[in-house]
Amino acid sequence: MTNKTPDFAELSRALKAGEVSSRELTEDCLQRIEKTDPQINAFISVTPELALEAADAADKKIAEGSAGPLTGIPMAHKDIFCAEGTRTTVGSKMLENFVSPYDSTVVRNLKDAGMVCVGKTNMDEFAMGSSNETSYFGAVKNPWDTERSPGGSSGGSAAAVAAGLVPATTGTDTGGSIRQPAALTGLTGLKPTYGRVSRYGMVAFASSLDQAGTFTRSAADAALMIEAMAGFDERDSTCAEVAVPDYSATLNDSLQGKTIGVPKEFFDEGLDAESREAIETALKQFEDFGASVREVTLPNLGMSVPVYYIVAPAECSSNLSRFDGVRFGYRTEQSGDLAEMYTNTRSEAFGDEVKRRIMTGAYVLSAGYYDAYYLQAQKVRQLISDDLAKCFEDVDVIMGPTTPTPAFKIGEKVDDPVQMYLNDIYTIAANLAGLPAASIPCGLSQGLPVGLQLIGPQFAEGRLLNFAHQYQQATDWHSQTPPLFDPTRVGGAS
């Protein structure tokens, strides 16, 4: 094997050819985690026994000839997905010892596809954060520079793949929580259309925005993984009854004659100059494929952060009410009466950012403020959706930067929530409109990865993956690995 990271197709070929077993791949991942994770803190739980059991089952399937394209490939789940018999902490003290009695649909689907889960990755508490610093289990470090944040909230999932600990991870994206960390760690991150992947068993942050997706090196890998994760689930009423296409089949479609819209609002003064350069170079690359690039406008984009910070906290304030110390999770030792039990349980087990959002959410929903905040935010949300829909009348894909800057330093923004929130200025619109969006690496700024964001119309995941794959066929940015880790390649020689 080359010292390039093998993609799923190569891993699957090697597994089926008997060049390597799933057990070997899994043991290799477990060793990497043991050796390297203390430096980056990407994992909350590692489950070697369950992993090796699953690997052996995969090897059996491979031997029987009934293996699929993902059978035997190791991965890890963001610790927001319930997995039966496994601790699911959501990065919070509240669920530090919560062992889920059931599998989320995402976990179940990838298990059924034969992927081998080696553990659960670190994340901002209840997915609330853009730097992974709100995790009760400590900040995750960016493998490109361990003084920097890998982004959040799926920071552990991003860092784990970037550092070569596992070939792929799942994440969730409520306002950019897959795309932003993917950008800051040089990975391909895909957030599908709202309703494309079931939310059942995914601990809710903001129900109307949350969507599960993937971290992989390449778009080709993401295509395989999303295909296995997606699909209708009767246990999630918001899950779409739309057939899942063969995403791999359209990866090589020609981009000749396609149109790319570039919102002028994405290129504001907040955008780092080197990042802008990388994005512009990437756009030229797409022109070389025969696609045309045109400027579009999203007049209400500036409202997306304020709207998001009304809608998401409103939903979270209600979603997190169930963590009351009565039935599961943390319960205070100090409870003289019921009110005290509630107050102390929640005061002691929720972190500051979670509390801030619960309070904001309760405020915007309260009598007398509902119309001015929540209702108004829903109206503006519709306008932002309409802006995007209008763009897609003329263009196939929208492109721009994923984040204003490359990875920032741990501690740099943690005391300034507004600065932190602005990190998601380019990503939030896709969540508000429920659209599929991806981030792919497209260059470096100050030696750190820069992400190119792709946004498509509803259920156009295949189109995004097609654009991304074409780009990755012609460029090498997705194969760049953090020099610090120079990871020994999975399945290869050191």
Binding site for another protein (CB under 8 A): 81-82, 88, 90, 95, 98, 100-102, 104, 199-204, 206-208, 234-238, 314-315, 317-318, 320-324, 326-328, 338, 342, 362, 365-367, 370, 374
What are the distances in angstroms from CA 344 to CA 19, 88, 312, 335? 56, 22, 24, 7
* Residue closer to another protein (CB basis): 275 or 360: 360
* Residue closer to another protein (CB basis): 323 or 392: 323
* Residue closer to another protein (CB basis): 202 or 425: 202
* Calpha distance 87→97 (Å, rounded): 6
* Residue closer to another protein (CB basis): 54 or 202: 202
Per the CB < 8 A criterion, the answer to whether 477 and 186 are in contact is: yes
Residue 208 CB, nearest approach to another protein (Å): 4
For residue 273 the two structure tokens come to 């100059």
Residue 95 CB, nearest approach to another protein (Å): 7
* Calpha distance 426→434 (Å, rounded): 14
177: annotated active-site residue: yes
* Residue closer to another protein (CB basis): 95 or 291: 95
If we measure between CA atoms, which residue out of 430, 381, 396 comes closest to residue 213? 430
Which phi-psi region, left, alpha or beta, contains residue 402 (left: φ > 0; alpha: ψ -120 to 50)?
alpha
* Calpha distance 48→29 (Å, rounded): 10
* Calpha distance 285→290 (Å, rounded): 9
131: annotated active-site residue: no
Residue 455 CB, nearest approach to another protein (Å): 22
Q: Which of 21, 92, 131, 153 is catalytic?
A: 153
* Calpha distance 303→439 (Å, rounded): 22
321: annotated active-site residue: no
* Residue closer to another protein (CB basis): 118 or 312: 312
* Calpha distance 206→190 (Å, rounded): 18
Residue 152 CB, nearest approach to another protein (Å): 19
Residue 378 CB, nearest approach to another protein (Å): 9
Per the CB < 8 A criterion, the answer to whether 227 and 115 are in contact is: no
Q: Which of 78, 141, 258, 413 is catalytic?
A: 78
* Residue closer to another protein (CB basis): 202 or 303: 202
Q: What angle is formed at CA 126 by the lines to CA 122 and CA 132, rounded to 5 degrees? A: 45
Q: Which of 177, 248, 304, 439 is catalytic?
A: 177
Per the CB < 8 A criterion, the answer to whether 211 and 105 are in contact is: no
Residue 437 CB, nearest approach to another protein (Å): 20
If we measure between CA atoms, which residue out of 214, 219, 226 comes closest to residue 452? 219
Per the CB < 8 A criterion, the answer to whether 191 and 214 are in contact is: no
Residue 76 CB, nearest approach to another protein (Å): 18
* Calpha distance 452→77 (Å, rounded): 24
* Calpha distance 70→83 (Å, rounded): 19
* Calpha distance 252→248 (Å, rounded): 8
* Calpha distance 402→439 (Å, rounded): 6
**Active-site amino acid positions:** 78, 153, 177
